Amino acid sequence: MGNVGLFVGTLLATRHGVGRVIVGSLALGAPFALLVPLAPRSLAVPALIVAQLAAGVRGPIYNVNQISLRQAITPPELLGRMTATMRVLVLGTMPLGALLGGGIASVFGVRLALLLGATVGCAACLFTLLSPVRSLRSVPAEEGAPEIQLLLARSLPP
């Protein structure tokens, strides 16, 4: 079901304004992870299927838009460094999260570990929801991205 979701997500990835899509894909997709730990045992498999489908749809929608935005606002000479840094931050934290989740599951049980992971995922959406990204209608076309500079200038304290 996750792969079906991925296919649907790729079809929907660029249909609306980039800022709304980034925020919306996170805000609407993350709560589906709560289905698995909150489902009664009799509904665990259907909850897992729905959660995987939702994660599959959300993944490409979010990634296509946020990667396009990052690449558009990064000067060409820094693209390699930015991409490498983001990959280390995102992929490098996965083993740490797996160890932490496994430790929590060993001590407190799998359901609590899944619930904590899903809750942290939902809370992480707040950073994007409260950021200036939500106001972007499209990926800036020009190098230097003056739209982003203006948006950031308005959102930062003096």
When pLDDT is averaged across residues 38-52 and rounded to a whole number, the result is 91
- All structural domains of the chain with their residue ranges: 2-76+120-155
pLDDT of residue 38: 93
Read off the pLDDT band of 22 (50, 70, 90).
Answer: confident
pLDDT, greater one: 49 or 2: 49
Asked which of 61-65, 93-97, 115-119, 137-141 is least confident by mean pLDDT, the reply is: 137-141
pLDDT of residue 140: 66
Neighbours of 157 (CB within 10 A): 3
List, in order, residues 6 or more apart from 98 with CB less than 8 Å away: none
List, in order, residues 6 or more apart from 21 with CB less than 8 Å away: 13, 14, 15, 61, 62, 65
With H, G, I as helix, E, B as strand and everything else as coil, classify residue 57: helix
Strands (E), the chain: none
Compute the distance between CA of residue 121 and CA of residue 27 in angstroms, rounded to an integer: 10
Read off the pLDDT band of 57 (50, 70, 90).
Answer: confident
pLDDT of residue 131: 81
pLDDT of residue 15: 59
When pLDDT is averaged across residues 5-21 and rounded to a whole number, the result is 70
DSSP 157: -
